Amino acid sequence: MLSLADTNVKKEKGVVLKTLKYFFPVAWRFDKAYFILSALNVLIAAALPFIDIFILPLLIDALCAEVRDIPQIITYAALMVGLDVIVGLINSQITIHLEKYEDKFLNFQAEQIADRCMNIDFALTENKECLDQINKAREGKDWSGGIHGIAKAFFQIIQNVLKIFGIVTVLAVSAPWLLLIIGALLAVSTFINARKNRIEVKYFSDLANINRVLWYVTHEIEDFRFGKDVRLYGAAGTLISRTQQQMDRLNSFFRKKADERYPLDVIDVAVGALRDFGTYLYLGALAILGKITIGVYSQLVAAGGTLNASLQGVVFGAQDIVKRCNYGYEMVKLMEYPPMLEKGDKKVGDPGGGHEIEFRNVSFSYPNSGVQVLKNVSITLKAGERLSVVGLNGAGKTTFIKLLCRLYDCDEGEILLDGVNIRDYDYEEYMKLFSVVFQDFRLLSFTAKDNILLGKDDTDEAVDEMFRKVGLLDKVNTLPKGRDTMMFRQFDRDGVQLSGGEQQKLAIARALYKDAPVVILDEPTAALDPVAEYEIYCRFNELVGGKTAVYISHRLSSCRFCDRIAVFSEGTIKELGTHEALVHKENGIYAEMFAAQAQYYV
């Protein structure tokens, strides 16, 4: 039966191997030259200390000789200095080039994390464990030093191993007991350093959560989108107070960690002093007894120091790799984070063609909420049909759309596309079926044109046509740089802040440009007055053409031109029919809502 210590060692070994197995192939694909430079750096750095170890004693003995050979002294000095300079310059240049990779790799890994965040299942973006893992991955990337930090520690171990082979040969001949002194005290230092590393790794997990909360409150303070709310509701004091609370937690965290490390640091210093004392005492005794010359004494002191540093470099380096890999493994875990949604491989068929979508006894609760948002919902959406979805806040309208777009999977029942469960379809192909404008849509701080194209290549005329269709072209033409004007002012002082309604039109233009067969508007016109909203919906209804369309709105002006209206209440569809049928239904939910809003449509 494995002990707890054996289990931990086995676990750490697995973490190290998985991290190295992930990081090194990534680095090799990113830039093979990095490994060539690292190999050269290992050889040169390993050779550098031996210049002084072998030439310095010759120089000292020549200086201490009764008859000094000046040409010989000059030769030794010139040889030692010259080799030090040449090898040192080469080593420093290689090191400079290697250090440049640090930012390259960190930026590349930041891109990997960002890409992973954009491609994980949407349901995970609201999952606390996943959000913590994302933050741990970011922290782990920085704390591990990324690919370069781990690779550097790995190559330094190889470099130190080469040094050890050379140094042991020198010491075994002239001062074999010094090997025992250094080895014994190294064992103590190794134990102490292992304890320190375990403390670092233990506290790292807690730090990720503290930093995520701290980043959130500081982000809210700095984000100008919250400027109005902060000022009007006097929220500055609350945000600053929350920030201070998190700062206090952070300070307490580091204080607690430092307190736990302090006794180990004291012991570590004492061990180092004892090692140096033993080295000088032993070698001094050999010199006094005449067993070694002053030059050899200096050689052995230097060799002993180099051996100790190299042995520590190997042992501590191995421990450092374990620690760094524990940090870096958080990124590996994010990259391998299990999906929440099943992904099929069935082709959708003609993505632009007509499709029938059926909800069959669908029920759904958000993860970890315990509250059923949708209950036994059944409805079939015919190809080319206009469906209006109405209901009070919290009735489940937006959740219905999220399930339709497969941002979440239902808990019970099934959703069918052309008679096939949507879980069986290729996920990316299925997502291409929908152009959606959510009520909490977001525009990017790019140009107006880029917000339409989103990386696609098309003509300015095609972009202008989208602006024209949503009634935004005249506004765009008045902007400082037209369609190339930056939205917002985060990166351009000449950027513009469109009104809420104009931003909504831009979001609708983006949806139109995607040209998907199913178009969904989830209350994107909330900032418009009822008349303007009705105009938008009427125009949009014309633009949709033969596509399937779903409209959600609190205001019922969008319902009159729809084929059917689904009235959501208490998480299910309570009424379904045409406007004329529902508006005349006695004691009907829709009829009551329409009567309450009728004054706005007169």
pLDDT in tens, 320-336: 888 889 889 999 999 98
| Non-local CB neighbours of 60 within 8 Å, separated by 6+ positions | 294, 295, 298
What integer is the mean pLDDT of 419-427? 93
pLDDT in tens, 97-132: 888 888 888 889 989 998 888 888 888 887 888 888
Whole-number pLDDT of residue 393: 82
Whole-number pLDDT of residue 4: 43
Whole-number pLDDT of residue 230: 65
Q: Please, which pLDDT band fits residue 173 given cuts at 50, 70 and 90?
A: low
Q: Which two tokens stand for residue 431?
A: 């997502």
In angstroms, the CA 487 to CA 476 distance is 11
Q: What are phi and psi of 374, to 5 degrees?
A: -120, 140
Helices in 434-472 by DSSP H: which ranges?
Answer: 448-453, 460-469
- Right CATH number for 11-335 from 3.90.650.10, 3.40.640.10, 1.20.1560.10, 1.10.10.10? 1.20.1560.10
| Non-local CB neighbours of 567 within 8 Å, separated by 6+ positions | 390, 391, 573, 574, 575, 576, 582, 588, 589, 590
What integer is the mean pLDDT of 401-407? 92
Helices in 444-578 by DSSP H: which ranges?
Answer: 448-453, 460-469, 473-478, 500-514, 530-544
What integer is the mean pLDDT of 86-90? 86
Q: Please, which pLDDT band fits residue 533 given cuts at 50, 70 and 90?
A: low
Ordered by start, the domain boundaries in the chain are: 11-335
Q: Which two tokens stand for residue 564?
A: 């059917």
pTM: 0.69
What integer is the mean pLDDT of 568-597? 89
Q: Give the mean pLDDT of the chain.
A: 82
pLDDT at 524 exceeding the cut of 80: no
Whole-number pLDDT of residue 225: 61
pLDDT in tens, 40-61: 988 888 888 878 777 777 777 7
Give the amino acid at 139: E
Whole-number pLDDT of residue 297: 72
Q: With left for phi above 0 and alpha for psi between -120 and 50, is residue 418 left, alpha or beta?
A: left
Q: Taking a C-beta distance cutoff of 8 angstroms, is the pair 580, 388 a contact?
A: no
Whole-number pLDDT of residue 208: 65
The H or E element that residue 556 is part of is none
Give the other-Cβ count within 10 Å of 191's Cβ.
12
Q: Per DSSP, what are the bridge partners of residue 412?
A: 363
The residue ranking higher by pLDDT, 500 or 390, is: 390
Percent of the chain at pLDDT exceeding 70: 88
Give the CA angle between residues 133, 247, 323 to the nearest 5°: 45
Q: Per DSSP, what are the bridge partners of residue 552?
A: 389, 522
pLDDT at 487 exceeding the cut of 80: yes
In angstroms, the CA 341 to CA 423 distance is 8
Q: Taking the mean position of all CA atoms in its chain, how far away is CA 586? A: 55
Whole-number pLDDT of residue 602: 52
The residue ranking higher by pLDDT, 179 or 516, is: 516
Q: Which two tokens stand for residue 232?
A: 């009007």
Percent of the chain at pLDDT exceeding 90: 19
Closest by Cα among 452, 447, 450, 449 to 491: 447
Q: Please, which pLDDT band fits residue 229 given cuts at 50, 70 and 90?
A: low
In angstroms, the CA 404 to CA 279 distance is 75
Whole-number pLDDT of residue 1: 42
Q: Taking a C-beta distance cutoff of 8 angstroms, is the pair 87, 44 a contact?
A: yes
